[in-house]
Structure 1
Amino acid sequence: MNERGGKIIASKVSNAYFPQKPGSELGGPNWACPNGCTTQTFYNWDPTSAMGVSESGMLGVEGAIWSEHLRTEHDMQFVTLPRLYALAEVGWTPQSQRNYADFASRLPQRGLDLMMRDATFHLASEVSGWKSEYAPTVVEELDSSASVQEVVLLAAPGLTQEELNKIKLTAKLTDSAGKEHVLPLEYDLARSFHYTDENATTGRIMNSLVRVMATIPADLPEGEATIAVEGSVDPTGVVSGTARTAGVTVTASSAVTVKASETEPTDPTEPTDPTEPTDPTEQTDPTGPTLGEGETEVMPKGVEADDADLNFRINMGRS
């Protein structure tokens, strides 16, 4: 290769084959790495020396994956992430500037990024510092009627449905008159962390994003109010096949404007006149569909009746 000016792309089995299980605690193929091909294995190798070629003869590295052990996109994500980050740095960072300890210290933040992208990944046990994080949800306006609002978005990698009791949060709303209202909270965990079978290579799911939902009371006075959420999250339970995530203390506060409800209440004591004539100039749309006897109008799947969901935005910075 060197004599003839050949160039190669390196994909060394123990350092770049994603189907090899990522840790000793897991089941899966391990013929290249009996104890698992970890992030450290994927990071700590020099392709040029491993392949016996000069730097000019190395075009790059390649991570290989086959699907005989996988069934879903989440299965594929679990065996590639976070080891893909390690392999990427092997390819683009000069060997003299690479340091695994530095890489491992940066990796937990990538876990939070992956959760926000709805990706599954392995909580590698050789990496310390996997962490939980949160962000207050900005509720720009409320009306004076009762409602349920998301007030915090919580990311706790590895949190299971059974560990929701590890979330110890309280919330209060201070209205424009200075009165405090304790807000009941519920936790919406759309898809919790789990294994279908820890010794299989399929059925592994990582998300554990928790929407903290607060019940807002009715008849709040108009004006500026504040919603504050405090407490802690401590996912300390043991889930086989994963490292544990550190807890986090939550201190979130956001301002909100309370406005009068747009729906005017009706007076039930005021009678209506069924004989009142209708306005003959009021036109109906002759092209619109009419409903037959027994039919019900149904909104198409995925289409909301209004844009209420746009009344809040996620602010990933703390306040």
Structure 2
Amino acid sequence: MLLDTYGRVATDLRVSLTDRCNLRCTYCMPEEGLSWLAKPDLLTDDEIVRLIGLAVTRLGVTEVRFTGGEPLLRPGLPGIVERVAALHPRPRMSLTTNGIGLARTAEALRAAGLDRVNVSLDTLRPEVFTALTRRRRHSDVLAGLAAARAAGLTPVKVNAVLMPGLNDDEAPDLLAWAVAGGYELRFIEQMPLDAQHGWKREGMITAGDILTSLRTRFHLTPEAESARGSAPAERWLVDGGPHRVGVIASVTRPFCRACDRTRLTADGQVRTCLFATEETDLRRALREGVDDEELARLWKTAMWGKKAGSGLDDPSFLQPARPMSSIGG
């Protein structure tokens, strides 16, 4: 098992397939983009499948989430999904995506074995989408969402980040739209993982702000704590159910005590936390020809050293050098 000194066991693996993205979200990266990883630095498809297989068959991982950057930009994605689906035991597989390109790939990904998707959509207003992402692709995201639902990649979850002065008034509208469309909406507090290091706690839209806004239109009933488990989102029944809305409050209501995640970057580094400042290099070990037993030992040692929490509330907190697009969501 991937056990740490606080008794937590990592069963959820987040795998970044690329650091590249076809949007330029203001809370993530600058308009000109970033210096992307060179192709030789990226794990190959075979290396990714080997490491996932190791995690699933030897280290107790039961859930695999493919992330980016934008994972749909990875040419070999359907093949990776198909090969992971063939593992025994078979893990549940999901994908976090901006939705661009999902309209043309949803059916193939479902056929390959993908179980469901999380799609990022911060606004219902095309002009605000353009301001937030610096791209005119709002209709493509909506088409991707519809395609995912039609393909059976359900439940389709929608992730939204609210930004002051841009879309902070849209929480009730987003929830009404999600309920009508059969999507499960989750709001995510903006985190200090932007490439520009411009995040400031002051002025950020908090979980409390979001819930206050939602309650102007909806009656929210909190789910029992036991129903949450290790999930990052606190969830509420909307107007008595069955629809739910979630809030991931990484900053103001951290959930580190129940964390069950381990992370693998696109260049083969194990990260114990989104906010970790240290990594363990599995790519080098792979390419030096070590066997699975040694790879497993390296991974277990990394997770054993996982810290108690993210440290966001510590005055000495330092933002990781890697931005979110390079870490993987």
Q: TM-score range by the shorter chain?
A: under 0.3
Q: Which has the higher strand share?
A: 1
Q: Which has the higher contact order (CA 8 A, sep 6+)?
A: 2
Larger Rg: 1
Query: Normalising to structure 1: TM-score of the pair?
Result: 0.22
TM-score when normalising by structure 2: 0.21
